[in-house]
């Protein structure tokens, strides 16, 4: 394989750079289709090797091969060689899944340590086990480990869960750790914490295999990069060389910086008559029998026709609640949401068809928003029939053209939802919302689960939409400032309050509120890793 | 763990409320007997003197709330009243019947737990293979046989044709422990359906747990097979089975009328059957209260165990 030379040349060091795990010419076939085709990679102590590629490119299959795990019924050829003890740690995308819900977190940690103290006399084993477990938790930067050990997984925060899973790998003493999409769907601050953590792991002399489609994180961490597409390695080599001079067209496309689409056309948004106005909104959540908590206060927020407003904030800041209030999905609020000066009923159920069509919502999880067994085309066309009274044939025709315009040709849109990728489904979800001919389109984190290429595709679609239809207003709910940069205006939410709002350009370059500044800074810090 | 403590406190409080509700319900149902309980009790050919005697014995001439107060006060002191048929205290009846019932229940549970859980785990380990298919089909088949049919069948084969075991416990009185042979058939019948339902629940739970990501993680990190099964997978599979076990114990302690009648065992079921036949209302009332309290207590215990096994799920309380 040609890329092996590239990897070898990067290993200028001495014997310390002997790989502790190596995959050679791996091929994995399931039911006749090839998932991974001729992939080779090396895990070198103290270095981070990133497997980059769109979802479905075979990253996870390759990563799991290091653990000796394959999809059921897979035909595997090629070599996976591990260091003598054959231990590999694994940090999955959702750490909660690998933590046993019925056991305290000490259970598995203790069992891992028990296997290591067999040589000690019986009486000293217990304290030796405890010592090792506490040390591993400390190494994973978990303070107050004594208390934590007695907790159940659901009593830990997401970050703590991830560090417990890391502690398991450290306790195991694995020379290789595979981290599968450790930052997907996380906000900026969490991301930069995960980056620090994985850097610390590599600094301990452990080889880290990072599977990710998050280029910011890969830039900040990776020493070596393997770019995958459709199961094949298209390019690999030291990170610095790859960023500086990508050889393969696909890598270049992956690395292209997105220009914002705000600057030239700021003339949009006729002042004076906003399409959507929010007045004195205060949304509540019920806390069991105890009473209610106010999770969102928005005294005033306007959206002009043709305007794109980004609502930015960390997870839990109330941005989704705001979107749900606008869409009529969250009834428990005071104040008013006015569409063209008419207050919208609080509940979806009380809104007329015209009102329903006027405000459309696209959800983060496109897969959950479709019936997986019916053709996507039918589900998209249904909006026009249901909300605009179009007849079935016309609706089908319109759905076909809209889907094709958004990049889903007829052969794809005729498939059932279960057979489309996440990015394709998100396009279909947008098409479905557009078939209602909405005045306001609410997009709730619609790109955060997607890989770079799919995300870019979706953002391109949104740009085009704003450009072509000046009567359509967009509300982008996002934690990602890069996505927010595409908007005309940004409103920043923190703990349920709008702390700052204004033109996107100004907010991103000269934030006035300290919280906005704190959101902008980690972005810059992650970017700083790029040059290296 | 204040969350656990408050859960236990709330659940205990609910248990008390449920018990009071049971007592009230039993009293109301007795009140709701058509006309006057004394008339109903006097039989087909009512004799005014007998009605009056019953009425006086039951204090039916006093207002309902007063009688409820007396009865409830008596219950608080463990006094369940006296039988109409014999004049003996109701608590005596229950104490007599409780011995054999408890013995049968204890023996059944002692076999049920290892066999039911064991079969379930065994089937799950060999999912889809011969052992699993054998266990799954046999348990389903046995579960489909009603206990009276199985009871009669066992008596015919083992007692009448083969002559290995006594057909009933007639003549042994309450000293059943001295005659273990007489207990074999009733315990077998009592076991038949609970073993099947428990094994099938266990199998389903274990298959889910063994396929879970957290079990894969334990396996990946070198934890041994038996430890994975019993320390990591089993606790997750236990929660539904525990609830089923509590219902089974409840049934064993208060509802095995058919089996007791079939094998002539003088347990609580027999006491209840006789009391109903003799329209001995205080005895029926006393039994209803005892059964109700048992049900509340067992479900409380099961909820606490389930809460420990599935700490995420809040049990409705």
**What is the per-residue pLDDT across A343-376, written as a single tens digit (0 to 9) for each?**
889 888 888 888 999 999 998 888 888 988 889 9
Say yes or no: A7 and A50 in one domain: yes
Could you give the CA distance from residue B257 to residue B271 in angstroms, rounded to a whole number?
A: 9
Could you give the CA distance from residue B293 to residue A486 in angstroms, rounded to a whole number?
A: 66
Say yes or no: A144 and A186 in one domain: no
Among candidates A113, A7, A101, A2, which has minimal Cα distance to A50? A7
Q: Under an 8 A CB cutoff, do A101 and B214 touch? A: yes
Say yes or no: A350 and A250 in one domain: no
pLDDT band at B215 (very low <50, low <70, confident <90, very high): very high
Residue corresponding to tokens 């028990």: A114
Q: What is the pLDDT at residue B173?
A: 64
Q: What is the pLDDT at residue A524?
A: 56
pLDDT in tens, A76-94: 888 888 876 778 899 988 8
User: Per the domain annotation, does A64 fall within a domain?
Assistant: yes
Q: Under an 8 A CB cutoff, do B231 and A97 touch? A: no
- Give the containing element (helix H, strand E) for A277: strand A276-286
* B 230-249 near A (Cβ less than 8 A): 231-232, 235-236, 238-239
User: Per the domain annotation, does A264 fall within a domain?
Assistant: no
Q: Which of B220, B227, B310 lies nearest to residue A101, judging by beta carbons?
A: B310
Question: Is pLDDT of B123 > 90?
Answer: yes
pTM equals 0.64
User: Per the domain annotation, does A270 fall within a domain?
Assistant: no
Among candidates B234, B208, B289, B246, which has minimal Cα distance to B24? B289
Residues A512 and A500: beta-carbon distance below 8 Å: yes
Q: Does the structure's ipTM exceed the value 0.95? A: no
Say yes or no: A44 and A107 in one domain: no
A135-138: long-range contacts at Cβ-Cβ below 8 A with a sequence spacing of 24 or more?
A136/A109, A136/A167, A136/A168, A136/A170, A136/A171, A137/A109, A137/A163, A137/A164, A137/A167
Say yes or no: A439 and A390 in one domain: yes
Q: Is A272 helix (H, G, I), strand (E, B) or coil?
A: coil
Side-chain half-sphere CA neighbours of B29 within 13 A: 13
pLDDT band at B270 (very low <50, low <70, confident <90, very high): confident
Say yes or no: A105 and A235 in one domain: no
In chain B, alpha helices (H): 2-31, 37-41, 48-57, 64-76, 90-125, 130-143, 147-154, 180-210, 213-220, 225-227, 234-254, 257-262, 268-277, 281-309
User: Per the domain annotation, does A408 fall within a domain?
Assistant: yes
pLDDT band at B33 (very low <50, low <70, confident <90, very high): low
Q: Helix A376-388 crosses helix A422-434 at what angle (to 10 degrees)?
A: 20
Residue of A nearest to B307 (CA): A102
Residues A250 and A229: beta-carbon distance below 8 Å: yes
Tokens of A197: 């953590």
* A 141-200 near B (Cβ less than 8 A): 152, 154, 165, 168, 172
Q: Under an 8 A CB cutoff, do B217 and A108 touch? A: yes
User: Per the domain annotation, does A269 fall within a domain?
Assistant: no
Say yes or no: A131 and A178 in one domain: no
A92 at B interface, C-beta within 8 A: yes
For chain B, how many structural domains are there in total?
1
User: Per the domain annotation, does A261 fall within a domain?
Assistant: no
User: Per the domain annotation, does B262 fall within a domain?
Assistant: yes
* B 156-215 near A (Cβ less than 8 A): 212-215
User: Per the domain annotation, does B218 fall within a domain?
Assistant: yes
List Cβ neighbours of B222 (8 Å cut-off, separation of 6 or more).
A87, A112, A115, A172
A99 at B interface, C-beta within 8 A: yes
Q: Under an 8 A CB cutoff, do A111 and B218 touch? A: yes
User: Per the domain annotation, does A93 fall within a domain?
Assistant: no
End position of a domain, from candidates A194, A228, A256: A256
pLDDT in tens, chain A (532 residues): 333 333 333 333 344 568 888 888 899 888 878 888 888 888 889 999 999 887 778 888 898 888 888 888 888 888 888 876 778 899 988 888 899 888 888 999 999 988 888 888 888 888 899 999 999 998 888 877 888 888 888 877 777 888 899 999 999 888 999 998 888 766 677 788 888 889 999 998 899 999 988 788 888 888 999 988 888 888 888 888 888 888 887 777 777 654 444 443 444 444 557 889 998 888 887 755 556 778 888 888 889 888 899 998 887 788 888 998 999 888 888 888 998 888 889 888 888 888 999 999 998 888 888 988 889 999 999 999 988 888 889 999 999 989 988 888 888 888 888 888 888 888 899 999 999 999 999 998 888 777 777 888 888 888 888 777 778 899 999 888 778 888 889 999 888 888 888 888 888 888 888 888 877 766 555 555 444 3
What is the DSSP-derived secondary structure letter of residue A266? T
Q: Mind spelling out the 3-state secondary structure of A324-358? A: HHHHCCCCCEEEEEEECCEECCCCHHHCCHHHHHH
User: CA torsion sign, A31 to A33 to A39 to A44?
Assistant: negative
Among candidates B271, B130, B116, which has minimal Cα distance to B190? B116
User: Per the domain annotation, does A336 fall within a domain?
Assistant: yes
| Dihedral (Cα; A227, A229, A234, A236), 10-degree rounding | 10
CATH number of the domain residue B251 falls in: 1.10.3720.10
Residues A439 and A273: beta-carbon distance below 8 Å: no
List Cβ neighbours of A89 (8 Å cut-off, separation of 6 or more).
A166, A168, A169, A170, A172, A174, A176, A177, A178, A206
Q: How far is CA B21 from the centre of its chain?
A: 19
A98 at B interface, C-beta within 8 A: yes
Q: Under an 8 A CB cutoff, do A111 and B227 touch? A: yes
Q: What is the pLDDT at residue B43?
A: 67
Q: Mind spelling out the 3-state secondary structure of B157-209? A: HHHHHCCCCCCCCCCCCCCCCCCHHHHHHHHHHHHHHHHHHHHHHHHHHHHHH
| Dihedral (Cα; B286, B288, B294, B296), 10-degree rounding | -130
Say yes or no: A441 and A301 in one domain: yes
Could you give the CA distance from residue B107 to residue B174 in angstroms, rounded to a whole number?
A: 15
Q: Which of B220, B222, B236 lies nearest to residue A102, judging by beta carbons?
A: B236
Q: Under an 8 A CB cutoff, do B217 and A98 touch? A: yes
Q: Which domain holds residue A4?
A: 1-87+174-256
B14 at A interface, C-beta within 8 A: no
CATH number of the domain residue A468 falls in: 3.40.50.300
Tokens of B119: 């079969």
Could you give the CA distance from residue B312 to residue A102 in angstroms, rounded to a whole number?
A: 8
Q: Report how many Cβ contacts below 8 Å link chain A to chain B.
A: 65
End position of a domain, from candidates A201, A228, A256: A256
Say yes or no: A165 and A180 in one domain: no
For chain A, how many structural domains are there in total?
3
Q: How far is CA A333 from the centre of its chain?
A: 29
Q: Under an 8 A CB cutoff, do A87 and B222 touch? A: yes
Q: Under an 8 A CB cutoff, do B223 and A108 touch? A: yes
Average pLDDT over residues B108-123: 93
Say yes or no: A167 and A185 in one domain: no
Phi/psi for B143 (5° steps) reads: -60, -30
Say yes or no: A81 and A103 in one domain: no
Q: What is the pLDDT at residue A7?
A: 36
End position of a domain, from candidates A256, A286, A304: A256
β-strands A292-303, A489-494: how paired? unpaired
Could you give the CA distance from residue A78 to residue A514 in angstroms, rounded to a whole number?
A: 54
User: Per the domain annotation, does B240 fall within a domain?
Assistant: yes
pLDDT in tens, B216-244: 899 888 888 888 988 899 988 888 888 88
User: Per the domain annotation, does B239 fall within a domain?
Assistant: yes
A115 CB neighbours in chain B (<8 A) are 222-223
Say yes or no: A243 and A295 in one domain: no
Average pLDDT over residues B58-77: 78
Q: What is the pLDDT at residue A262?
A: 40
A101 at B interface, C-beta within 8 A: yes
Interface test with A, best of B3, B127, B213, B317 (most A CBs within 10 A): B213
Q: What is the pLDDT at residue A463?
A: 81
Q: Which domain holds residue B142?
A: 93-268
A154 CB neighbours in chain B (<8 A) are 311-312
Question: Is pLDDT of B316 > 80?
Answer: no
């Amino acid at each position: 394989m040609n890329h092996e030379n590239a990897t070898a040349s990067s290993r200028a060091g001495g014997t310390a750079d002997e790989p502790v795990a190596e995959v050679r010419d791996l091929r994995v076939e399931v039911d006749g289709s090839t998932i991974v085709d001729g992939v080779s990679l090396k895990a070198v102590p103290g270095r981070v090797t990133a497997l980059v590629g769109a979802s479905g490119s075979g990253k996870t299959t390759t990563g799991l091969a290091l653990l000796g795990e394959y999809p059921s019924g897979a035909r595997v050829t090629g070599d996976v060689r591990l260091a003598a003890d054959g231990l590999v740690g694994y940090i999955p995308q959702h750490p909660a899944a690998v933590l046993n819900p019925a056991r305290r977190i000490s259970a598995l940690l203790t069992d891992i340590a028990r296997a290591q103290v067999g040589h000690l006399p019986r009486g000293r084993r217990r304290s030796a086990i405890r010592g090792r477990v506490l040390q591993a938790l400390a190494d994973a930067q978990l303070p107050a480990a004594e208390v934590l050990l007695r907790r159940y997984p659901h009593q830990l925060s997401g970050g703590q869960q991830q560090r417990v899973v890391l502690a398991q790998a450290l306790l195991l003493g694995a020379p290789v750790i595979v981290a599968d999409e450790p930052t997907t769907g996380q906000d900026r601050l969490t991301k930069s914490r995960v980056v620090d953590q994985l850097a610390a792991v590599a600094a301990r002399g452990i080889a880290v295999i990072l599977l990710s489609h998050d280029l910011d994180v890969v830039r900040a961490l990776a020493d070596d990069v393997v770019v995958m597409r459709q199961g094949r390695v298209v390019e690999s080599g030291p990170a610095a060389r790859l960023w500086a001079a990508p050889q393969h067209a696909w890598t270049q496309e992956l690395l292209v910086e997105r220009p914002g689409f705000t600057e030239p056309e700021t003339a949009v948004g006729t002042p004076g008559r906003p399409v959507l106005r929010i007045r004195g909104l205060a949304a509540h959540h019920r806390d069991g029998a105890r009473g209610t908590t106010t999770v969102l206060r928005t005294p005033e927020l306007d959206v002009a026709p043709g305007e794109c407003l980004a609502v930015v904030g960390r997870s839990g800041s109330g941005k989704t609640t705001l979107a749900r209030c606008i869409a009529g999905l969250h009834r428990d609020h005071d104040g008013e949401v006015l569409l063209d000066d008419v207050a919208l009923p609080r509940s979806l159920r009380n809104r007329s068809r015209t009102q329903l069509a006027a405000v459309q919502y696209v959800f983060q999880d496109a897969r959950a928003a479709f019936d997986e067994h019916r053709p996507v085309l039918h589900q998209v066309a249904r909006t026009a029939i249901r909300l605009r009274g179009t007849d079935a044939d016309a609706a089908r025709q319109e759905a076909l053209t809209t889907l094709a315009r958004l990049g889903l040709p007829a052969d794809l849109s005729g498939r059932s939802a279960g057979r489309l990728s996440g990015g394709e489904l998100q396009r279909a979800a947008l098409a479905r919302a557009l078939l209602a001919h909405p005045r306001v389109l609410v997009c709730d984190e619609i790109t955060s689960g997607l890989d770079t290429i799919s995300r870019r595709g979706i953002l391109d679609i949104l740009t085009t939409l704003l450009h072509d239809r000046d009567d359509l207003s967009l509300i982008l709910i996002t934690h990602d400032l890069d996505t927010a940069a595409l908007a005309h205006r940004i409103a920043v939410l923190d703990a349920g309050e709008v702390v700052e709002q204004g033109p996107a350009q100004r907010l991103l370059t000269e934030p006035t509120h300290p919280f906005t500044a704190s959101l902008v800074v980690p972005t810059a810090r992650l970017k700083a890793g790029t040059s290296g | 763990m204040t969350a656990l403590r408050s859960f236990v406190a709330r659940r205990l409080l609910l248990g008390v409320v449920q018990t009071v509700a049971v007592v009230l319900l039993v009293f109301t149902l007795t009140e709701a007997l058509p006309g006057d309980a004394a008339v109903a009790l006097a039989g087909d050919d009512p004799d005014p003197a007998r009605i009056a005697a019953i009425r006086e014995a039951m204090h039916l001439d006093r207002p309902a709330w007063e009688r409820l107060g007396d009865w409830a006060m008596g219950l608080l002191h463990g006094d369940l009243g006296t039988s109409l048929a014999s004049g003996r205290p109701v608590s005596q009846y229950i104490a007599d019947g409780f011995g054999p019932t408890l013995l049968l229940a204890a023996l059944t549970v002692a076999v049920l737990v290892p066999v039911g859980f064991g079969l379930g785990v065994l089937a799950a380990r060999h999912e889809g293979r011969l052992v699993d298919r054998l266990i799954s089909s046999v348990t389903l088949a046995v579960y489909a046989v009603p206990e009276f049919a199985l009871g009669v069948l066992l008596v015919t084969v083992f007692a009448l044709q083969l002559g290995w075991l006594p057909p009933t416990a007639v003549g042994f009185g309450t000293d059943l422990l001295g005659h273990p042979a007489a207990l074999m058939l009733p315990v077998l019948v009592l076991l038949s359906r609970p073993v099947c339902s428990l094994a099938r629940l266990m199998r389903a739970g274990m298959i889910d747990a063994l396929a879970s990501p957290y079990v894969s993680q334990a396996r990946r990190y070198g934890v041994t097979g038996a430890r994975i099964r019993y320390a990591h997978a089993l606790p997750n599979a236990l929660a539904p089975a525990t609830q089923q076990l509590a219902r089974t114990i409840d049934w064993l302690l208060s509802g095995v009328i058919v089996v007791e009648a079939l094998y002539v065992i003088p347990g609580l079921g027999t006491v209840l059957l006789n009391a109903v036949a003799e329209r001995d209302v205080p005895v029926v009332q006393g039994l209803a209260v005892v059964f109700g309290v048992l049900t509340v207590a067992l479900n409380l215990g099961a909820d606490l165990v389930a809460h420990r096994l599935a700490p995420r799920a809040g049990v409705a309380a």
